Amino acid sequence: MRVLITGANGFLGYSLSALLLKKGVAVIATGSGPCRLPFQENSLFRYIPMDITVPAAVHQQIKLAAADIIVHTAAMSKPDECELHPEKAYAVNVRGTAEVLEAAASIGSHFLFLSTDFIFDGQTGMYQEEDPPGPVNYYGQTKLEAELLTRQYPFDYSIARTVLVYGNNRSGRKNILGMVKEKLEKGEVFKVVDDQLRTPTFIEDLSFGIWKMIEQRPKGIFHIAGEEQMTPYEMAVRTAKFLGYNVNLLQRVNASTFTEPAKRPLKTGFDITKAKKELGYQPVPFEKGLELTFYQK
């Protein structure tokens, strides 16, 4: 089996490439610049530069690669950047997805799209797959539009939605756990919001869920997330306690404390019953995720 990954230099792209290679799957990793993944020695691994906003490159590379399945993770994934640069966000998240879909359709590959809890309005939380969307920021809007395009794909497709992914980000970008460690290690105060609810997702659980979707090719939407609903403040406290740092350095604040360009949905988090039942997905408890994040080689 051959799997093509878009945005492979990213947080998920790295982890998923590593898992697929371990499973003996051929990986065609693609990204907007040079390869930043350390798998070049593996004969199952190939990297092809492919900016999804360049239609000719997308069509040419996807045709040449002839993958059985395309996992589309590439995105402008920071909500504030999307809010500040809406044209770029639309070009990458919507038009880029449309190009990848069109190229995938020309070879009839299975299409797996990565989406987000930010397609929901955050009023109720613990969303199920069929709950009505209602994004509150531009990032969520673009991801929803890309979902709708995916749902028109003429061949088999699936959509994996996830929530606030954490873990050892070998691709570089720091997530909340890394920030807690960095600040508290230096004895600095760290302000964290306590009025948003999420079901934080351990990166390796997400990769495993996607692996199951690659293996089983179920059709439709799946919520792949952690099981425990908590606020970012609670995540930070549990991280500080786990690492033995001074919890008093963590300051509980409201989203209104920060002047962020993009509004955040208040309560999200996913009901993952469908993924557990149909895919055999089972995420680790948060403390196990912490152990794997900080102590796994």
Ligand X SMILES: NC(=O)c1ccc[n+]([C@@H]2O[C@H](COP(=O)([O-])OP(=O)(O)OC[C@H]3O[C@@H](n4cnc5c(N)ncnc54)[C@H](OP(=O)(O)O)[C@@H]3O)[C@@H](O)[C@H]2O)c1
Choose between 80 and 249: whose C-beta lies nearer to ligand X: 80
| CB 246, min distance to ligand X, A | 27
| CB 187, min distance to ligand X, A | 28
Q: Computed over its alpha carbons, how large is the radius of gyration of the chain?
A: 19
Choose between 183 and 198: whose C-beta lies nearer to ligand X: 198
Q: Which residue has the CB atom at the shortest distance from ligand X?
A: 10
Choose between 164 and 240: whose C-beta lies nearer to ligand X: 164
The residues facing 253 across adjacent strands are 193
Tokens at 271, concatenated: 């009901």
- Judged by the rule CB under 6 A, the positions of this chain that interact with ligand X are 6-7, 9-13, 31-33, 51-53, 73-77, 92, 96, 114, 116, 143, 162-165, 171, 173
Q: What are the residue ranges of helices labelled H in 169-231?
A: 176-185, 203-216
Cα dihedral 17, 19, 24, 25, rounded to 10, equals -40
Which residues, 6 or more positions from 152, have their beta carbon under 8 angstroms from its beta carbon? Answer: none
Choose between 78 and 249: whose C-beta lies nearer to ligand X: 78
Cα separations (Å) of 84 from 123, 138, 176, 185, 282? 24, 9, 22, 32, 37
Task: Name the DSSP letter for residue 152.
Answer: T
At residue 122, the 3 state secondary structure works out as coil
| CB 42, min distance to ligand X, A | 19
HSE-up of 200 (CA within 13 Å, CB side)? 23
Choose between 74 and 104: whose C-beta lies nearer to ligand X: 74
Choose between 9 and 231: whose C-beta lies nearer to ligand X: 9
| CB 258, min distance to ligand X, A | 18
Q: Rounded to 5, what percent of the chain is helix, strand, coil? A: 40, 20, 40
| CB 56, min distance to ligand X, A | 13
Choose between 8 and 26: whose C-beta lies nearer to ligand X: 8
The residues facing 110 across adjacent strands are 69
Task: Name the DSSP letter for residue 85.
Answer: -
Please report where in the chains the tokens 């350095």 appear, as a residue: 249
| CB 52, min distance to ligand X, A | 4
| CB 70, min distance to ligand X, A | 13
